[in-house]
Structure 1
Amino acid sequence: MDSSESYSPSAPRPAGRTVTMKTFLSLIVVFVITQLLGTVLFGLYLHMKLDKMGEEISLREDFVFLKKLQKCRKPQDADASLLDCTKILNIFRELQAQTSPIKEEVSRALTGDKKPSATIHLAGLRGSRKVLQWKEAVYAPSMDDEFSYQDGKLTINKGGRYYIYSQVAFCAKQEQHLPKQMPPFSVYMYLNLPSESDRLLLKGVGTHGNSDDLCDLQSIYLGRVVELQKGHVIFVNVTDSSRVNYDHGNTYFGMFELS
């Protein structure tokens, strides 16, 4: 062997084998990812299926309970004698007691009515005293336990925040025999407190009539929001009750509780 013969390196790997290896590895990665996705999707499907089965089982249990309840409410059925009807009826009563408050809340939410508010509206009753007298008005809320009325004074039996109001119609023109220097017709709304002097809440002053009418009918309206406690008394006072007009809808007094 000739020592001068040059050394030849080993031949390079064929390019086709490298491409095949890369393709094989890519297929393996795709297969693994596909398996993972398939496992996740199958898990979600199985979870949804189990939930649906649970709902169906729950509905079936409810249906079976209703069937038992129906049989217990008909003692003449032969199957009812095999059931513990006392226990089933007690369960039904407990469910009714639990759902009744919910139904009331839903009904109030739909109607927008949270709870009944204290309301009263009274019409003027002819009298001769400065403290005006009242009667139940037509087409108005009747007197309930939240108020009590006596001798022109309205007593509050339920503390809260109220809007109180009154309108008094009167003849603005004075009688001819009355002196001209008399003060104008005035309306006052008072809060009567136990062991205290009356507190003025509202005041309205009318004007003298200038027309040729015998009465020259005018009106004074009073109204405000006030915080009232149980036992507080409200009444309306006027300077001259003989000038008050008691025709329907002209003179009234009332209040309603604010939510």
Structure 2
Amino acid sequence: MVDYTTAPSHVELALEDRTVILVEKKSSTEWIWKVLGALLIVALCLGGVLLFAWHWNGPEMMIQSGQTEALIETDSDPHYTLKRISSKAKAAIHLEGSYDDEDKSSKAALEWKNGQGQAFAQGGFLLADNQIVIPRTGLYFVYSQASFRVSCSDGEEDEAGKRFMPLSHRIWRYSDSLGGKASLMSAVRSACQTTAQEEDSYRDGRNWYNAIYLGAVFQLNKGDKLWTETNQLSELDTDEGKTFFGVFAL
């Protein structure tokens, strides 16, 4: 009888132990589902934020990418590229060159024009006495190009000077802080060169075509004046887009 009566108590204890174990497993399962649910909610929130950001910024990024590709495609044309960049600057000026072949006076010079062709001025820039006046102190990109078309000699004595003709183009700066004028940039090229030096130029029969381009960044002061000096003016090519002068703020 003793062995018989003690068996149920052991069974009851075993059942109680099993019940406790089942409750613990159920609690653990609920905790896992709660964590998974919270992670799902966070993931949905992040997805919504990313979708919202793409909705507002996606088209703008595509436009900027297209503009960058356009600049890369036109990189072979510095005049076009500079026009695009300077047009987006807060302060910029771009001038077209002009020269009168019939002007034989000692004051004959390359004249800069605003408001014709692709020339423009904005942000306070002024063109006064054929000089660009800087509107405010800051960093500026200054550039200019002078294109030439020279009729080279075939060796006749009366045109011996055109077998080797030096061409020069320079940008000057006047500033009160300097107490006078100073040369910003300059370059010299030789026209009617030998065939070994014709890789950077173009020749059509006796005509020689080339351009001198200048461009760099400078710290300029308000009221500074910039102008150019070019020799061999009668050989200049002033067709639209070939000879120009400009500045834009950085």
AA at the equivalent of 2:98: L
Aligned: 1:150 with 2:128: yes
Task: Judge conservation of contact 1:172–1:185 (CA < 8 Å) in 2.
Answer: no
Q: Which residue of 1 aligns with 2:227?
A: 235
AA at the equivalent of 2:110: L
Q: Of 141, 152, 175, which residue of structure 2 is paired with 1:193?
A: 175
Q: Give the secondary structure class of the aligned counterpart of 1:143.
A: strand
Q: Deviation digits for residues 29-87 of structure 1, max 9, x if unmatched?
A: 53366468769979x99xxxxxxxxxxxxxxxxxxxxxxxxxxxxxxxxxxxxxxxxxx
Q: Which residue of 1 aligns with 2:110?
A: 132
Displacement of 1:231 after TM fit? 1.9
Task: Judge conservation of contact 1:172–1:206 (CA < 8 Å) in 2.
Answer: no
The farther-off stretch of 31-40 and 140-149 is 31-40
Displacement of 1:124 after TM fit? 0.4
Task: Judge conservation of contact 1:165–1:254 (CA < 8 Å) in 2.
Answer: yes
How far, CA to CA, are the matches of 2:136 and 2:7 in structure 1?
Answer: 98
TM-score by length of 1: 0.55
Q: Deviation digits for residues 157-176 of structure 1, max 9, x if unmatched?
A: 14333322111123445899
Query: How many positions carry a matched residue from both structures?
Result: 192
AA at the equivalent of 2:236: V
AA at the equivalent of 1:226: F
TM-score by length of 2: 0.56
Q: Map of 1:41-56 to 2, 5 A cutoff?
A: none
Q: Of 140, 159, 184, which residue of structure 1 is paired with 2:137?
A: 159
Higher strand share: 2
What CA RMSD, in Å, does the superposition of the two structures yield over aligned residues?
Answer: 4.6
The farther-off stretch of 175-184 and 119-128 is 175-184
Task: Judge conservation of contact 1:124–1:132 (CA < 8 Å) in 2.
Answer: yes
Q: Map of 1:1-259 to 2, 5 A cutoff?
A: 14-15=6-7, 17-31=9-23, 34=26, 116-117=88-89, 118-127=91-100, 129=107, 132-136=110-114, 138=116, 140=118, 142-173=120-151, 180=161, 184-194=166-176, 196-209=179-192, 216-258=208-250
Displacement of 1:247 after TM fit? 2.0
How far, CA to CA, are the matches of 1:178 and 1:192 in structure 2?
Answer: 38
* Highest RCO, 1 vs 2 (Cα 8 Å, sep ≥ 6): 2
Displacement of 1:133 after TM fit? 1.8
Unaligned 5+ runs, structure 2: 38-55, 68-86, 194-202
How far, CA to CA, are the matches of 1:186 and 1:170 in structure 2?
Answer: 10
How far, CA to CA, are the matches of 1:14 and 1:174 in structure 2?
Answer: 128
